[in-house]
């Protein structure tokens, strides 16, 4: 995160991350088994790179179907090209609100992040995937300042 222009303060009981400008894309992120870069963080990293300055690459070495989020992010205006296990992400100034669908747990949670960053209104369908791993994600995000609510 420091390479993307974030300032990180780590204390014994909390971590604070601040950013004062548009983030920079990472050159290349490759998922690996522990202690390497975790595949569970690949989708949120893709969201960050989608709105970062520059072009970045994500190589998914663990799960073949982990790029399900790409189709949904492109609905929001992201510029992503996938070939085999590699995604090339060209950062855009901003994402646009859109109707998207969670295809899995991690990608769904990342879509929540994308929707929070997007300009305009977004809806996310198939939130049951998100609910499997995040109890009341909307409550957590509201506590962080998001304007989010679950529709019945």
Please check the confidence at residue 148 and state whether its pLDDT lies above 90. Answer: yes
Cβ within 8 Å of residue 32, ≥6 positions away: 61, 62
Which phi and psi (to 5°) does residue 22 adopt?
-65, 135
Please check the confidence at residue 20 and state whether its pLDDT lies above 90. Answer: no
pLDDT tens-place string over residues 110-127: 999 999 999 999 999 999
- Interatomic CA distance for residues 109 and 87, integer angstroms: 19
**In which band, very low, low, confident or very high, does the pLDDT at 14 lie, cut at 50, 70 and 90?**
very high
Q: Is the peptide bond before 149 cis (omega within 30 degrees of 0)?
A: no
Domain assignment present for residue 114? The answer is: yes
pLDDT tens-place string over residues 44-66: 999 999 999 999 999 999 988 88
What is the phi-psi region of residue 120: left when phi exceeds 0, alpha when psi lies from -120 to 50, beta otherwise?
A: left
Per the structure, the count of domains in the chain is 1
Domain assignment present for residue 1? The answer is: no
Domain assignment present for residue 15? The answer is: no
pLDDT of residue 132: 95
Contact 55, 25 (CB under 8 A): yes
Domain assignment present for residue 43? The answer is: yes
pLDDT tens-place string over residues 65-116: 889 999 999 999 999 999 999 999 999 999 999 999 999 999 999 999 999 9
Domain assignment present for residue 112? The answer is: yes
**In which band, very low, low, confident or very high, does the pLDDT at 27 lie, cut at 50, 70 and 90?**
confident
Please check the confidence at residue 4 and state whether its pLDDT lies above 90. Answer: no
Task: Supply the CATH number for residue 49's domain.
Answer: 3.65.10.10
Domain assignment present for residue 105? The answer is: yes
Domain assignment present for residue 9? The answer is: no
DSSP state, 16?
Answer: E
Range of the domain at 107: 20-143
Domain assignment present for residue 49? The answer is: yes
Q: What is the pTM of this model?
A: 0.91
pLDDT of residue 143: 92
Give the strand pairing for 86-90 and 55-59.
antiparallel
């Amino acid at each position: 995160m420091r390479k993307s222009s974030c300032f990180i303060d780590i204390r014994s009981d909390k971590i604070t991350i601040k950013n004062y400008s548009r983030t920079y894309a990472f050159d290349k992120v490759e998922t690996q088994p522990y202690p390497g870069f975790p595949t569970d963080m690949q989708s949120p990293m893709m969201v960050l790179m989608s709105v970062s300055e520059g072009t970045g690459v994500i190589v998914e070495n663990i799960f073949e179907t982990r790029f399900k989020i790409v189709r949904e992010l492109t609905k929001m205006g992201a510029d992503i090209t996938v070939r085999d296990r590699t995604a090339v992400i060209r950062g855009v100034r901003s994402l646009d609100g859109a109707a998207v669908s969670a295809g899995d747990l991690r990608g769904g949670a990342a879509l929540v992040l994308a929707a929070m960053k997007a300009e305009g209104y977004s809806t996310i369908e198939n939130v049951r995937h998100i609910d499997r791993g995040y109890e009341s994600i909307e409550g957590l995000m509201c506590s962080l300042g998001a304007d989010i609510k679950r529709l019945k």
